[in-house]
């Protein structure tokens, strides 16, 4: 009998030994998701460069390339510890700075979170394009990814190594970061463009807006596609492991993006505007930002509604900013900020099995409001200090020549007769 049990034992352990372990499979999943989220950095670079003038193409690309680099290093150094370290008070963590060792999973988790921090930091680059000094911008990106983002992040997601953030304790839902990543990034961007002021020529003396068209709409479209592809990693990777719920999360992500583009198209048609490529793509990105909070906790019908509304939010949000004479080159504040607030609210409104609960909605509004209350004044102070010390805005001459020439001593398209397209003679500088 005993030998029979023994052989049974061997038989039974054998298949288990050949089955892939959860830990290893989850690691592979999160590494792939991290690669996809990193790819979003390329999407931002393409989108923002395409929406800028050719004379700033190199500068925009460089900012996106380098904020991933310095943002990643800073997040490793301090941000990760602030966000996920042992968290006694609920306000920030105080361990795991510059992590060297640890369990295998710690490295995987750090990699994924590092990509998120870089995303939060890079949102400002597009809004502030075409007039920001390279050094000043990079210092801002370091502070966002190393301090502003992780502190707020600890409130909602913190405590991987003990404790829990205060927003998490309230029951705040933000699955993959409509608020934590996107709105926080957008409020930093808003502060940046307020400190900078609009580009030369963006508004006439009487405040009439003038369109400054982006130089390469093909890059913008490719950027939109790349961001969309990367978002599957952003949202579905936020499970931090392989589960059957990935399917719904990815489907919601896709449908909301599609409906965001449709919503933007309808919003443009409803106001007899031409269906602009840039705005349509921003609509789909608004749908992606919007579904990020609630992608794991609603059905596909609500996801489509979330995206559709996000498309409208983006169109009217961009108009609102323009009316306020704020110059957001790529529409980042509307896409990541306004659609992020809407998405955070939608995650509360359309929560599985508890639709339209006032308690839940209030918590969502508190979370979204606290993101603004924390990130906006902090970033305002940071950019103001940068402006008063090393300088944030380039000189008028450098802005006219283009930042590629002024800051990098090279141009993006040396053979295609790049010219300075604006001479500034009849326009005044604001801000």
Q: How far is the CB of 113 from its own copies (least distance, A)?
A: 11
Q: What tokens does 161 get?
A: 């190594």
Q: Which residues contact 341 (CB under 8 A, 6 or more apart)?
A: 178, 179, 183, 368
- Which residue matches tokens 């941000």? 79
* Residue 183 DSSP label: I
For residues 363-382, which are near its own copies according to CB under 8 A? none
CA distance 147 to 134: 20
- Cα–Cα distance for residue pair 222/71, rounded to 1 Å: 24
Which residue among 29, 149, 155, 351 contacts its own copies (CB under 8 A)?
A: 29
Distance of CA 423 to the CA centre of its chain: 34
Report the nearest approach of its own copies to the CB of residue 268 (Å): 11
User: Does residue 66 belong to the site contacting its own copies (CB under 8 A)?
Assistant: yes
H/E run at residue 387: helix 358-388
* Binding status of residue 20 toward its own copies by CB under 8 A: yes
39 binds its own copies (CB under 8 A): yes
Applying CB under 8 A, which part among 120-128, 168-176, 213-221, 334-342 lies near its own copies? 213-221
272 binds its own copies (CB under 8 A): no
Q: Which is nearer to its own copies, 276 or 385 (CB)?
A: 276
Q: How far apart are CA 113 and CA 187, in angstroms?
A: 20
The string of DSSP codes covering 406-427 is: IIIS--S-TTTT-------TT-
**According to the binding rule CB under 8 A, does residue 222 interact with its own copies?**
yes
- 276 binding its own copies? (CB under 8 A): yes
The Cα–Cα gap between 375 and 363 comes to 18
- x/- map, 173-212, its own copies, by CB under 8 A: ----------------------------------------
Alpha carbon dihedral 191, 194, 197, 201, in 10-degree steps, equals: 100
Phi and psi angles of residue 203, each rounded to the nearest 5 degrees, phi first: -130, 135
Among 7, 28, 171, 355, binds its own copies (CB under 8 A): 28
Calculate the CA dihedral of residues 282, 280, 288, 333 and round it to 10 degrees: 20
**Window 100 to 139, contacts with its own copies (CB under 8 A):** 100-101, 104-111, 114, 134
Binding piece for its own copies, criterion CB under 8 A, among 169-177, 178-186, 199-207, 406-414 = 406-414
**Contacts of 60 by beta carbon, 8 Å cutoff, 6+ apart:** 45, 48, 49, 52, 125, 126, 129, 130
* Sign of the C-alpha dihedral computed for residues 318, 323, 329 and 334 taken in this order: negative
Site for its own copies in 294-323 (CB under 8 A): 299-301, 304
Q: Which is nearer to its own copies, 162 or 218 (CB)?
A: 218
| Least separation in angstroms between CB 250 and its own copies | 5
**Is 27 near its own copies (CB under 8 A)?**
yes
391 lies in the site for its own copies, by CB under 8 A: no
Using CB under 8 A, pick the residue from 125, 154, 216, 297 that binds its own copies. Answer: 216
Q: Going residue by residue from 331 to 350, which x/- string records binding to its own copies, judged by CB under 8 A?
A: --------------------
């Amino acid at each position: 009998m005993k030998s029979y049990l023994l052989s049974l034992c061997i038989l039974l352990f054998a298949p288990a030994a050949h089955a892939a372990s959860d830990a290893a499979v989850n690691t592979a999943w999160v590494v792939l998701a991290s690669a996809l989220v990193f790819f979003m950095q390329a999407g931002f670079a393409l989108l923002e460069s395409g929406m800028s003038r050719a004379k700033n193409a190199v500068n925009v690309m460089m900012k996106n390339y380098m904020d991933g680099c310095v943002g990643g290093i800073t997040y490793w150094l301090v941000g990760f510890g602030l966000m996920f370290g042992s968290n006694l008070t609920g306000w920030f963590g105080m361990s795991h700075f510059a992590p060297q060792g640890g369990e295998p999973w710690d490295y995987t988790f750090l990699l994924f979170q590092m990509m998120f921090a870089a995303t939060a930091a890079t949102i400002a680059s597009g809004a502030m394009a075409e007039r920001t000094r390279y050094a000043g911008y990079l210092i801002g990106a370091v502070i966002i990814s190393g301090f502003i983002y992780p502190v707020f992040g600890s409130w909602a997601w913190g405590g991987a190594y003990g404790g829990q953030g205060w927003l998490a304790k309230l029951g705040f839902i933000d699955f993959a970061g409509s608020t934590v990543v996107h709105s926080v990034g957008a409020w930093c961007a808003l502060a940046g463009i307020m400190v900078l002021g609009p580009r030369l020529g963006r508004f006439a003396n009487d405040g009439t807006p003038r369109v400054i068209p982006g130089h390469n709409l093909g890059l913008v479209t490719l950027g939109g596609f790349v961001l969309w592809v990367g978002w599957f990693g952003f949202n579905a990777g936020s499970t931090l492991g392989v589960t059957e719920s990935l399917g719904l999360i990815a489907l919601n992500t896709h449908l909301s993006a599609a409906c965001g583009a449709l919503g933007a198209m309808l919003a443009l048609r409803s106001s007899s505007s031409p269906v602009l490529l840039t705005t349509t793509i921003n609509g789909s990105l608004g749908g992606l930002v919007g579904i990020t909070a609630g992608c794991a906790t609603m059905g596909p019908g609500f996801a489509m509604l979330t995206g559709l509304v996000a498309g409208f939010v983006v169109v009217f949000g961009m108009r609102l900013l323009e009316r306020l004479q704020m110059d957001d080159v790529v529409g980042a504040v509307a896409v990541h900020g306004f659609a992020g607030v809407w998405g955070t609210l939608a995650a509360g409104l359309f929560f599985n099995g508890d639709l339209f609960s006032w308690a839940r909605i209030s918590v969502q509004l508190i979370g979204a409001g606290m993101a603004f209350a924390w990130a906006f004044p902090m970033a305002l102070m940071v950019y103001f200090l940068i402006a008063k010390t090393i300088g944030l805005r380039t000189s008028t001459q450098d802005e006219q020549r283009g930042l590629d020439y002024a800051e990098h001593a090279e141009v993006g398209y040396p053979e295609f007769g790049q010219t300075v397209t604006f001479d500034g003679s009849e326009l005044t500088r604001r801000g």
